Amino acid sequence: MIRLLIVDDQPAVRQGLLMRLAAESDLRVVGQAPDGEAALDLAQSLCPDVVLMDVEMPRMDGIAAARALRRMCPAVCVIMLSIYDDARTRLCAEEAGAAAFVPKAMPADLLLATIRQVRH
């Protein structure tokens, strides 16, 4: 079972991801957070395997949160999600320690495959 934490400032995005991921027998969403600060707090108590992290959020963006999360919980895999699919955003995600980058416009099957790939 892969334990997931969803981090996005848009409630509708979190809910959409939750509904799609709930249909998978090997995935379990253990928490949701609206920003990077809340994600760091939850990650410590929930110990997810994978964090699905939006890049742009208030209070603490996904890049800063991914960097901090990698220091706090090195075993956690961060998958960055963004509406921006450009070289600069991908580079920032990579430098922050993200295991993968998935554009939000990509099909859900790509996200599911990426989640499973980073955990194996």
pTM more than 0.85: yes
* Domain map (residue ranges) of the chain: 2-118
Q: What is the pLDDT of residue 120?
A: 76
Confidence of residue 32 (pLDDT cuts 50, 70, 90): very high
- 107, two tokens: 């099909």
Start-end of H helices in 35-102? 36-46, 62-72, 87-95
CATH-assigned architecture of domain 2-118: 3-Layer(aba) Sandwich (3.40)
pLDDT tens across 46-71, in order? Answer: 999 999 999 999 999 999 999 999 99
